[in-house]
Amino acid sequence: MRILNNRKLIPLLSFLIFAPLALANHHSVANIEWHEWSDTAFKRAEAEDKLVLLDIGAAWCQFCKKMEQVTYQDPEVVKIINEHYIAVKADIETTEAVRKLYESFGVPGTIVLTPNREEINKRRGYIEPLQMQWHLLGVLQDA
């Protein structure tokens, strides 16, 4: 009888120990709601009283991919952007209007604009998640 109880007890204990760990690693992270460069995105920013965060990249840009995989997956960065910004993603090679404005700026480029398309701030290069949090919150404080 005791062996039978141990056979039932071991799986139960294993479940109780490892289930919380599995759930902790499987938390869901919201995604950034990206928009295309368009009048609609800027009108939405105006209607929602938000700034526009423009992420400029290119398919060949390794640091752009790192921004997508690391910085823009950070839960706090996602939260700040979704709550306070209209996020616009543009490929410098395929978005003509963005290319005309920012071709010489380089990629990755992170630019904060008003709904009237006035630049508030711009940064070139890869931005670590914590730096991005400070940057986004600092821009909001100064705006």
pLDDT tens for 71-120 read 999 999 999 999 999 999 999 999 999 999 998 998 999 999 999 999 99
Q: Which of 133, 143, 83 is nearest to 112 (CA)?
A: 143
Phi, psi for 35 (deg, rounded to 5): -125, 160
118 Cβ partners below 8 Å, 6+ apart?
Answer: none
pTM: 0.78
Reading phi first (left if > 0) and then psi (alpha if -120 to 50, else beta), residue 117 is in: left
CB 113, CB 119: distance < 8 Å = yes
| Residue listed under structure tokens 């460069």 | 37
Nearest 5 degrees, angle CA 60-CA 129-CA 19? 105
